[in-house]
Amino acid sequence: MDPGFLQELRAIVGDRGLIVHADELRTYECDGLTNFRVMPGAVVLPSERQQVARVVRACAKHKVAFVARGSGTGLSGGALPVEGGIVISLARLNRILDIDIPNARVSVEPGVINSFVTQEVAPYGYFYAPDPSSQSVCSIGGNIAENSGGAHCLKYGFTTTHVLAMEVVLPDGSIVHLGNPTLDAPGYDLLGVFVGSEGTLGIATTITLRIVKRPEVVQTLLAAFNSTNEAGAAVSDIIAAGMLPAAIEMMDNLAIQAAEASVHANYPSCGGLLLVELDGPAAEVEALIKHVGEICTRDGAWEIRVAQSEEERMAIWKGRKAAFAAMGRISPNYIVQDGVIPRTKLPEVMTEIERLSAEAGLRVANVFHAGDGNLHPLVLYDRSIAGQEERAEKLSGDILRLCVKVGGSITGEHGVGEEKKMFMSEMYAEPDLDTMQLVRCAFDPANLSNPGKVFPRLRLCAEKTGPYEPHPLEVAGVAQFF
């Protein structure tokens, strides 16, 4: 890195806020997706919000790319450093700035851990609804970048539903306010576009969140079926009965085995396990949970348990939330996927995943947010066996293509990041992707904010809109589009 540039950074964040030594930089070379690694040129750790804008201004002046990073738990390589760029870690900006219970709003800095928000407001009977499985370590800033979901977004919505306002440092270092603590602020919904933009449009430095009143009661039911298809039929019937559960989760036998080996959740050994959670007014939930039990029995469930205490409920969830990490118990390596399908395509997709898995000679464990069709197939492999990693990557890609083929998406909550950008072209046509990039050109014409992520190819911001025409550089053979 240019010493003059590093000196400018040091002047802003001090010695304690700047990392330049290779050993220390290694911590930041990847996020939760560890098979992509790039060494950053430097890492800055601002401890005051104003420092973020000054750091970004320095980057803009020196044309240095930057990647914002929260807790580094992302699963798509969104916080992967870029060659020759710096990482801006928001971990030290972890203050809760304001709690306004009567208006159900909380203002935080981006480094605040997701579950801390709920902890702060729980004494007042409120919670912060988005609950990614990593919620005890992931940050609100990272959740905004990825538009994180979680098991309960079927009923409560995603991060985007719960963010009302933000102060954002744009890639040129200027500060703007998007959204408003009051609803429907006049103008384009730039807040809505910023959430889920994976760090490519700037850095949020203050965030106003909406919190939700805790329901009167929560009931969790666990049902064991012989197969995921039987469990899937029960999901359809529950929804067809007009219910909107807080969560419906499904695990197949391999996922159950892993969860048992890891956290002893005491799940029945079965082909398809369903967790259904209902919440709301007591009288309603009590009547409906009985109905859910009846539907499951009719669809072939041979064991049904309703958690009788908060401890039992937490134990049921523990197995599900630990499912990814638990794969380590049954396989040395694994790839987590995040495809989405129309829920009714589940039997067809499961059969095809089984076929692909057999063809590749690799096991696939399945954990789903069944209510909204968000699959998390876990492709298990052993990196030390020659050729397995490549086969696992191919199988994982084939599963994503399958999701797109049946009308779904390549990612429901983990983001595109570095990992899935080549699959964007499977889901969207070139004009669709170009139109999205118009937004990036408005926010970041110099292409400094997390460049190279999300899109399979960079759109030069001066390009004209309209049908795709090859860029002169492409025609000249100097540059190539993927």
> Is 213 a residue that touches another protein (CB under 8 A)?
yes
CB of 238 to another protein, least distance (A): 11
436 near another protein, judged by CB under 8 A: yes
- Note whether 438 binds another protein by CB under 8 A: yes
Q: Which of 2, 216, 390, 469 binds another protein (CB under 8 A)?
A: 216
Using the structure block, give the residue that is written with the tokens 């306010």.
Answer: 177
Which span sits near another protein by CB under 8 A: 91-99, 293-301, 350-358, 424-432? 424-432
Give dist(CA 396, CA 391) in Å, integer: 8
- The yes or no reply on residue 244 touching another protein (CB under 8 A) is yes
The set of residues, in sequence order, having a beta carbon less than 8 Å from that of 75 and lying 6+ positions away, is: 31, 32, 33, 336, 338, 414, 415, 419
Minimum distance between the CB of residue 124 and another protein, rounded to whole angstroms?
9
Provide, rounded to whole angstroms, the least separation between the CB of residue 104 and another protein.
7
The 284-323 contact track toward another protein, x by CB under 8 A, reads: x--xx-----------------------------------
**Nearest Cα residue to 128 out of 218, 213, 219:** 213
User: Does residue 427 touch another protein according to CB under 8 A?
Assistant: yes
- 273 vs 288 by CB, closer to another protein: 288
User: Of 20, 137, 193, 304, which lies in the binding site for another protein, with binding defined by CB under 8 A?
Assistant: 193
Rank residues 105 and 305 by Cβ distance to another protein and give the closer one. 105
- Applying CB under 8 A, the span of 32-40, 127-135, 157-165, 220-228 interacting with another protein comes to 157-165
| Nearer Cβ to another protein (208/331) | 208
Residues of span 447-476 touching another protein by CB under 8 A = 454-455, 464-467
Q: For the CB of residue 182, give the shortest distance to another protein in the complex, in Å.
A: 4
| 184 touching another protein, by CB under 8 A | yes
Nearer to another protein, 100 or 390 (CB): 100
Residues 6+ apart with CB under 8 A from 92: 17, 45, 46, 47, 111
Contact letters for another protein, residues 366-395 (x by CB under 8 A): ---x--xxx---------------------
**What is the size of the binding site for another protein (CB under 8 A)?**
96
Of 38, 99, 322, 439, which lies in the binding site for another protein, with binding defined by CB under 8 A?
A: 439
Q: Are strands 272-280 and 247-252 parallel, antiparallel or unpaired?
A: antiparallel
Select from 19, 307, 364, 416 the one that contacts another protein (CB under 8 A). 416
State the Cα–Cα distance between residues 91 and 258, nearest whole angstrom. 32
Residues 69-108 that bind another protein (CB under 8 A): 100-105
361 vs 407, beta carbon nearer another protein: 407
By CB under 8 A, what part of segment 115-134 binds another protein? 125
Q: Which is nearer to another protein, 321 or 369 (CB)?
A: 369
Which stretch, 14-22, 304-312, 317-325, 406-414, contacts another protein (CB under 8 A)? 406-414
Q: Which residues pair with 69 in a beta bridge?
A: 89
Q: Does 258 bind another protein (CB under 8 A)?
A: no
- Identify the residue among 186, 470, 472, 477 touching another protein (CB under 8 A): 186
* Residue 203: both structure tokens together: 């850095």
Exactly one of 122, 431, 475, 481 binds another protein (CB under 8 A); that residue is: 431
Among 71, 94, 147, 206, contact with another protein (rule: CB under 8 A):
147
175 binds another protein (CB under 8 A): yes
Interaction of residue 442 with another protein, rule CB under 8 A: yes
Q: Among 320, 321, 343, 457, indicate the residue that binds another protein (CB under 8 A).
A: 343
Q: What are phi and psi of 14, to 5 degrees?
A: 75, 170
158 binds another protein (CB under 8 A): yes
